[in-house]
Chain A
Amino acid sequence: MMGLAADLARGFFIGSQVSNAAREGALFAAHHAATETSRTQFETDTKTVISQEEQSSTSCPSGSLSTTIAYSSTPTIPLPAGSSTTETITVSCTYTDYIGLRPDGGSQKVATTVNALLVN
């Protein structure tokens, strides 16, 4: 029971940290779409922000964090004045339970999807 509780608590913690990292990434994206030099750089920087935010929490094992970025319409970066698009950021973390007593197996995955409006 203790082991199960520990794994559940850790899963909840990782989920919370992943959500926080995703929101940080969305906030960064929303405020930098007009000033980044290219879409590639923009996405790289967004992922860096997410990665750094997550790493600082030391919850998701190294190399287990995944970030995908999608758009309602692929934008030009820097975003032209008067234009907008919705960016969808999905951050996921795959990890293994310490105890592994959960009925759904020892390998777990938590994911958070957030949206950001890129506007200029």
Chain B
Amino acid sequence: MTRTSKSSGAIRRRPLRRGRRQGGQAVVLFGLFSFALFGLVGLALDSGHAFDDRRALQGAADTAADAGMHMVLLDYHNQSTPPWSDSQISSKVQSLVNASKTAASGITSYTAYYIDETNAVYPAGCQIGHLGSGGACGASATLTLCTSAAQSSCIAGVQVTPKYTHSTLFLSVLGIKTTTEAATSQARYNLGAPSTSGFLTFVVWHSNCDNVYNTGYVPDSDPAGEGDQDPTAVGDLVRVTDNHFFKNNSSGDSMVTACGSNNESKSSDFKGGFNGSPWGYLANTTVEQCDSNAGSIPVSPTETTINANDCIDAAHGSPGNTPHDCNVYIMPVIDAVFGSEPELHVSSFMAMKWAGCTIPADTNDDYIVQWICQAGSNSSTCIPPASIASVTSGFYQ
């Protein structure tokens, strides 16, 4: 590279002193780029710090929301005597958020609300722990729990949002003194959406037919509020241990795989149940029928409805004969709601009685008395066994 100049009409060339001029240029460029580089490094470090805090906050939010929802769910399962109050839930959620400080580097504030089945905050603008305190929380608001699918303006879970504000390390040079991270987590129970295709209705019947509900399924709670934990009222929840029906006898719980060795000894056996899939009712494979023959049945599982020869009263039935005492046997009709939280609960009761007896008066509205036709029954006063499934369909809530 050369540089030319005119002097006294002659052209004179002189060599360029490259080093000194470009060296100054480099200093300027280095200054500019180093400033940019410093900014980028600072951005990377502070952003990384912020993202790390954000992830920790999300963990804290998830934990607290899940715990809050769990307490709300316990209240739902025990509506007659809910174990957890609004203030207790608030206290536990707060303590859990605070306990997460170590993981989250520090939580400067948090908000927590109840949410309904549509994920909307309820009551709007009211933080948990303040129900009934007036304002957005209402003067007399209480824990109004959601009791059906997709219900709004009720409580089905908790939303927690912890926040963390901290000073920046490098970005403060650029005027960004602090950053605030926040994470929100919602957790709620889901009652599912009942549908005819999703409903599973079946009758649990006991071989002893004594209306004692302590064998076969585990009483879960008492939302119907009649003061016990047996499934003796419509709405009571039941659950199945390990997805099977169990019998409860002196030697402990064990899965029922067959009826007893003879009809008279089946007092602790079940004849209906699940096998395999948690909520699957596998037709012709899971319902064991105790036939009228003495001995260890089973008539290979063939029925999905109650048949005439089912021993609903083994104690009185005799080999080769159908039960024939005139007691009324009340059996819970269980349905299953399919959803993310599958539930079994009592949808109604069915009373069964040999059709040769007199129809008793229906003295309790909770019970729906039907007959099972037996051979020789008057079909005008009983229903054929094959119709029972459809009849129970009419018992849906």
In the assembled complex, which residues on chain B have CB atoms less than 8 Å from the CB atom of A82? 83-84
Check if B96 is an interface residue, CB within 8 A of chain A: yes
The CA of A27 and the CA of B83, in the complex, are separated in Å by 21
Give 8 closest A-B pairs by Cβ, nearest first: A117-B67, A82-B83, A115-B99, A117-B96, A119-B70, A119-B71, A117-B92, A86-B99
B71-115 near A? 1/0 per residue, CB < 8 Å: 100100010000110000000100110011011000000000000
Q: Is the CB of A117 within 8 A of B83?
A: no
Q: Is the CB of B67 within 8 A of A119?
A: yes
* 26 A-B pairs whose Cβ atoms sit less than 8 Å apart in the complex: A23-B59, A23-B62, A27-B66, A30-B70, A81-B78, A81-B83, A82-B83, A86-B96, A112-B103, A113-B103, A114-B100, A115-B63, A115-B96, A115-B99, A115-B103, A116-B63, A116-B67, A117-B67, A117-B70, A117-B92, A117-B96, A119-B67, A119-B71, A119-B74, A119-B92, A120-B74
The CA of A30 and the CA of B74, in the complex, are separated in Å by 13
In the assembled complex, which residues on chain A have CB atoms less than 8 Å from the CB atom of B83? 81-82, 120
Q: Is the CB of B103 within 8 A of A117?
A: no
Which of A23, A31, A86, A113 lies in contact with B70, CB distance below 8 A? A31
Total CB contacts across the A-B interface at under 8 A: 47
A2-44 near B? 1/0 per residue, CB < 8 Å: 0000000000000000010001001100110000000000000
Of residues B63, B71, B95, which shows the largest number of chain A Cβ atoms within 10 Å of its Cβ? B63
Residues of A at under 8 Å CB distance from B? 19, 23, 26-27, 30-31, 81-82, 84, 86, 88, 112-117, 119-120
In the assembled complex, which residues on chain B have CB atoms less than 8 Å from the CB atom of A120? 74, 83
- How far, in Å, is A46 (CB) from chain B's closest CB? 15
Q: Is the CB of A114 within 8 A of B59?
A: yes
In the assembled complex, which residues on chain A have CB atoms less than 8 Å from the CB atom of B59? 19, 23, 114
In the assembled complex, which residues on chain B have CB atoms less than 8 Å from the CB atom of A31? 70
The CA of A18 and the CA of B66, in the complex, are separated in Å by 20
User: 15 new A-B pairs (CB below 8 Å) besides A19-B59, A23-B62, A119-B84?
Assistant: A23-B59, A23-B63, A27-B66, A30-B67, A31-B70, A82-B84, A84-B92, A114-B59, A114-B63, A115-B100, A116-B67, A117-B63, A117-B92, A119-B67, A119-B74
In the assembled complex, which residues on chain A have CB atoms less than 8 Å from the CB atom of B62? 23
- How far, in Å, is B93 (CB) from chain A's closest CB? 8
Residue of A nearest to B241 (CB): A35
Within 8 A of A (CB), among B47-71: 59, 62-63, 66-67, 70-71
In the assembled complex, which residues on chain A have CB atoms less than 8 Å from the CB atom of B99? 86, 88, 115
Residue of B nearest to A120 (CB): B74
The CA of A114 and the CA of B61, in the complex, are separated in Å by 12
The CA of A119 and the CA of B89, in the complex, are separated in Å by 10
In the assembled complex, which residues on chain B have CB atoms less than 8 Å from the CB atom of A116? 63, 67
Q: Is the CB of B63 within 8 A of A26?
A: yes
The CA of A117 and the CA of B64, in the complex, are separated in Å by 8
The CA of A29 and the CA of B92, in the complex, are separated in Å by 16
Given A113-B103, A120-B74, A30-B84 contact (CB < 8 Å): no
Residue of B nearest to A88 (CB): B99
In the assembled complex, which residues on chain B have CB atoms less than 8 Å from the CB atom of A27? 66
The CA of A116 and the CA of B96, in the complex, are separated in Å by 8
In the assembled complex, which residues on chain A have CB atoms less than 8 Å from the CB atom of B95? 86
In the assembled complex, which residues on chain A have CB atoms less than 8 Å from the CB atom of B96? 86, 115, 117
Given A23-B62, A26-B63, A114-B70 contact (CB < 8 Å): no
